[in-house]
Structure 1
Amino acid sequence: MVKEHGREPGVPYTAFAQLLESGAISADHKARFLAIMTREGAEEEVLSRPDGQAPARWFKEVYPELDIDQATRLGQDFAEHVQLTSFGPLSLPLISAGSVAEVVELFAYLPLITTAVATRVRPQQDGLVVGLVGNTGDSELDCLVVTYCGYALARLIHVLVGDTSDMTLHCGWPSPASKDGDLPGLGPRLMFGAPATYLHVPAKTLDDVCRFSDPTAYRLAIADLEKALDQRTKTPSLSEQVRMSLDDGPGSKRIATVATELSVSVSTLKRRLHDEGTTFRELLHTSMLERAKLQLLDPSISINQVAADLGYSDATNFSHAFKRWTGQSPRQFRPRLDG
């Protein structure tokens, strides 16, 4: 009997199973993973489940001394072994995609295969920015999963199209002391010390044609993904429902407004969010900060526009709030995007 992990942050079982068989994990570390799987009732034969996830906490248990440097290196090393069949229901549309733009569009369906990473895609004048946010609750594990996610995407695009060296993965932490940031042949270029973690895909790359393009297969696969995502969103947790409400549309929302949308009282909303380990204030803060950072990454959007979109009466109030969140003003945040 497989132990049910619910929506605990994890990585796709199929990707995890392939990782165990790759050369990226030593025999000792593989033995530790297998021991954990046995302990928790997750035997190897169930790793092919398309909707299953291997809990991210397993990596912290196998690598107890995990720090940011090691997490970065592991994320890169693991991504080097990613395959086109690593991501369950996303694999078919990935293989049959007609262009890099269609590959990037698949990020919308990432919740179907992992709860460890959240993404936000925003068009810019010079391409796309894919914001990457770890949801594991652990900074080192977040570093590992977002590095893997960014590099894995570049690896897959490399297989489908070719050279991806014009893509750049910006990491919101310092450069590892003991290893060069780039992996030969994979791309993207890796830059550290960024104000946020994101993958930049240039406009010219988005138009690159994939070598296994199959428009019919892609459309059918996307239709299946839409149904699966619709089914999943029919039974989200309350915190997920609140977050979707906060992310939907411009401006911020008050707790009373969201409670009315969800047909519960404010006190019930507060109590149930507490039971899920969060608060409305925390969810609002996270939503506002992620939206602000992603928009500030686009130099074509003025600070006044960002402030207005987030519901602030003027840029000054927004700047005060952003500095309270991050320790720096929006203007201080932006120059660090250069170089």
Structure 2
Amino acid sequence: MKPIDSRLTTANIPVFMLRSLVATLKDCNIDVSRLLVGVGLTLTDIEDPDCRVSFRQGREIIVRALQMADGHALGLETGFRQNIHSVGLVGFAMLTSATVEEAVKLGMQFQKNTGSMLEFDTRLTKEGVAITAASRFPEPGIYSFLVEEAFANFMTIGIGLLGDGFKPLRVELAYPEPAHSAAYKRIFGCEIRFGTIENLFLCEPSLYKQPLATSDPYTNRQLLECIAYHHERAREAVETTEAVERVLRQKLEKRISISGVAKTLGMSERTLRRRLAEASVSFQDLLDDLRKNKALELLGNPQMSIEQVAFAVGFTDSHNFRRAFRRWTGTTPGALRTDLSRIWPE
């Protein structure tokens, strides 16, 4: 079996965009209670600014949302409901930058902090400043949604920096024209081209050097220092938790102790406990999360019994597994399996 790319399963994406997606579905009078069934998240988690999701979790949520909101311009609506403040500290740092150019460069530098599931870049062309968007992973089922959401959010960021009169010169999309293409013209107010070789958001070059009325050098410096501090802490935390999770995944079906994991990682148990505490997580929390997510994945396979799932995630007693699963999810493995087969049939 081909191993799963760890970049798909590492929970390092902030939930800013997913929070907006949930709000958009609610505005469409769509019941969101089933959106997160079996994903390993709750609606309360989505409202937590410290929550992080994996690309795979984000993809699953978006696929379900698109099914639930068929006929809506969901990506555009999700992106346009956000504003420059919606991406947290990065948004405020952009607002307090000296010029539009500095704000854009800052957004590019910290794009992973904003919750996007795409990769962005900028370049100067003969026509102006181009911001491009490309996939991190080949995901045709959510590709157009991600580009729509990102470019609609670029619009609201531009409005936040320059005022209501902002609009791009042209928007190019590397996919066919969708049924809701009229919404593009309404949101962007410029020429729209579909079926191009890349996704491109093109702006007038003169805007790049324009000073920002909201510029504040002192506040900007404070915000950048705060972002850098949290970024470094997050990097250290991710390194520790990923190392522990890597060991746990290899031994998930066995009895696992923190002392054994520490020995595998070449450190003392005391050091490992201290590093996990600095990352605001406990060994048991990591173990429970991995067991829960693996159990949720296996419960989607009707060929596996509840007992087999229990053994696969490290429980020798299916009764203890059922009790732990109820603590993790608020329901039983059998009830959740029934929900999954009814709501998301194969």
TM-score, L = length of structure 2: 0.55
**Rounded Cα–Cα distance in structure 2 between residues aligned with 1:130 and 1:60:** 26
1:209-229 per-position Cα deviation (integer Å, ceiling 9, x unaligned): 434222222222223334444
Deviation at 1:195, TM superposition (A): 0.7
Judge conservation of contact 1:96–1:217 (CA < 8 Å) in 2: yes
> Is the CA contact (8 Å cut-off) linking 1:9 and 1:55 kept in structure 2?
no
Match of residue 77 from structure 1: 77
SS at match of 2:197: coil
Counterparts of 1:39 and 1:231, CA distance in 2: 27
Contact residue 19 and residue 25 of structure 1 kept, 8 A: no
Instruction: Give the Cα separation in 1 of the matches to 2:87 and 2:9.
Output: 18
In the alignment, the residues of structure 1 paired with residue 126 and residue 233 of structure 2 have an alpha-carbon distance, to the nearest angstrom, of: 34
Change in 2 beyond 3 A, CA 1:123/1:143: same
Matched, 1:117 2:111: no
Q: Corresponding residue for 2:130?
A: 129
Aligned residues: 227
Of 217, 221, 224, which aligns to 1:222?
A: 224
Aligned to 2:198: 196
- Alpha-carbon deviation of 1:24? 6.9
Q: CA offset at residue 74 of structure 1?
A: 1.7
Partner of 1:139: 140
From the superposition, tell whether residues 30 and 51 of structure 1 become closer, same or farther in structure 2 (CA, over 3 Å). Answer: closer
| Residues 130, 233 of structure 1: alpha-carbon distance in 2 compared, 3 angstrom cutoff | farther
Higher deviation after alignment, 94-103 or 46-55: 46-55
Match in the other structure for 1:58 = 61
Map 1:205-244 → 2, pairs under 5 A: 205-229=207-231
Amino acid at match of 2:227: L
Give the distance between the partners of 1:159 and 1:65, measured in 2 at CA.
31
Q: How far apart in 2 are the matches of 1:14 and 1:114?
A: 6
Residue 146 of structure 1: SS of its match in structure 2?
helix
Tell me the amino acid that sits aligned with residue 86 of structure 1: S
Q: Secondary structure at the match of 1:56?
A: helix
Identity of aligned residues (%): 12
Residue type matched to 1:84 in 2? I
Separation (CA, whole Å) in 2 of partners of 1:143 and 1:183 = 16
**Structure 1: which 5+ residue stretches go unaligned?**
237-339
3-state SS of the aligned residue for 2:32? helix
Aligned-residue offset at 1:115? 5.7
CA deviation map 1:229-288 (0-9, x unaligned): 45666767xxxxxxxxxxxxxxxxxxxxxxxxxxxxxxxxxxxxxxxxxxxxxxxxxxxx
Query: In structure 2, how many angstroms separate the alpha carbons of the residues matched to 1:147 and 1:49?
Result: 23
1:32 is paired with a residue whose SS is coil
Q: 1:14 aligns with which of 16, 20, 25?
A: 16
Separation in 2 of the partners of 1:199 and 1:75? 16
* Distance of aligned partners of 1:188 and 1:86 in 2 relative to their CA distance in 1, 3 Å threshold: farther
Q: Is the 8 A contact 1:135 1:142 kept in 2?
A: no
How is 1:246-325 mapped onto 2 (pairs within 5 angstroms)? none
The answer to whether the Cα contact below 8 Å between 1:13 and 1:52 also exists between their aligned partners in 2 is yes
After the TM superposition, which residues 37-186 of structure 1 pair with which residues of structure 2 at under 5 Å, given as runs? 40-44=40-44, 47-50=47-50, 52-53=52-53, 55-64=58-67, 73-105=73-105, 106-114=107-115, 116-162=117-163, 163-184=165-186, 186=188
Change (3 A) 1:45 1:178: closer
RMSD: 3.4
Alpha-carbon separation, structure 2, partners of 1:104 and 1:170: 19
Question: Where does residue 310 of structure 2 map in the other structure?
Answer: none
TM superposition score normalised by structure 1: 0.56
CA contact (8 A) 1:100 1:206 kept: yes
Q: State how far apart, in whole Å, the 2-side matches of 1:32 and 1:124 are.
A: 45
CA displacement at 1:65 relative to structure 2: 8.1
**What secondary structure, in the 3-state scheme, does the structure 2 residue paired with 1:20 have?**
helix
- Tell me which stretches of 4 or more aligned residues in structure 1 moved more than 4 Å: 22-25, 185-189, 227-236
| Contact 1:19-1:81 at 8 Å conserved across structures | no
Bigger CA drift: 179-188 or 200-209?
A: 179-188
Residue 47 and residue 155 in structure 1: after superposition, are their counterparts in 2 closer, same or farther (change >3 A)? same
In the TM superposition, residue 188 of structure 1 has moved relative to its aligned partner by 5.5
Whichever of the two has the greater Rg, that structure is: 2
The verdict on how the C-alpha distance between 1:233 and 1:74 changes in structure 2, with shifts beyond 3 A counting, is same
Counterpart of 1:120, as a letter, is D
Given that 1:24 and 1:81 are in contact with CA atoms closer than 8 Å, whether structure 2 keeps it comes out as no
1:105-156 CA distances to partner (integer Å, 9 max, x unpaired)?
A: 1122111233611112223344322220122531131221122112201112
Aligned-residue offset at 1:203:
0.7
Please give the secondary structure, in 2, of the residue aligned with 1:154: helix
- Describe the SS at the equivalent of 1:133: strand
Q: C-alpha distance in 2, partners of 1:223/1:9?
A: 21
